[in-house]
Amino acid sequence: MDLQKIVREVPDFPKPGIQFKDITPLLSNPSAWAEIIDQMESLANEVRPNLIAGIEARGFLIGASLATKLGMGFIPVRKKGKLPGKTIGIDYELEYGHDRLEICSNESLNKKSKILIVDDLLATGGTALATQRLIEKSTATVVGFQFIIELCSLKGRIKLPQSVPIHSLIKYN
């Protein structure tokens, strides 16, 4: 199945000059979504995680689906102030300012945890890198990254650690 043909391009969103890659058509197509999760399962089996971490918000959809398929737990990575209870957080820089990511501080993340980070899009790599640093701050180990889409021209891949696999199902130049 050619997943790239199903992705919708929205010109000038969220601002002029941006060609937004919309995964909504993939989500509404059960065959396409099953294909995405099957491909990600195959790649996940190579790195052998025991937990999946998904970046807010579309990473939740991917991560929860993949974690269920693999029979393992899911860790939501959220923006500041969205999680209840005690959290672990990290501040990071964006192209246009700064932000904060948080995860729940609980016993599921420890030195034995092997985490696969998933999200819909790899662009500049800043949020994915911050997520990796946050996971490692919890003493867990990141074993890989998976994305549905990668915008290669933005070179986000080079910001991520080259010591772990980085997989993207669809690449745009």
Catalytic sites, residue numbers: 58, 95
Neighbours of 28 (CB within 10 A): 10
Question: What angle separates helix 30-47 from helix 58-70, to the nearest 10 degrees?
Answer: 70
Report how far residue 102's alpha carbon sits from residue 144's, in angstroms, rounded to the nearest whole number: 19
C-alpha–C-alpha distance, residues 122 and 109, integer Å: 24
Tokens of 170: 């669809």
Q: Report the 10 Å Cβ neighbour count for 118.
A: 32
Phi, psi of 7 (to 5 degrees): -65, 135
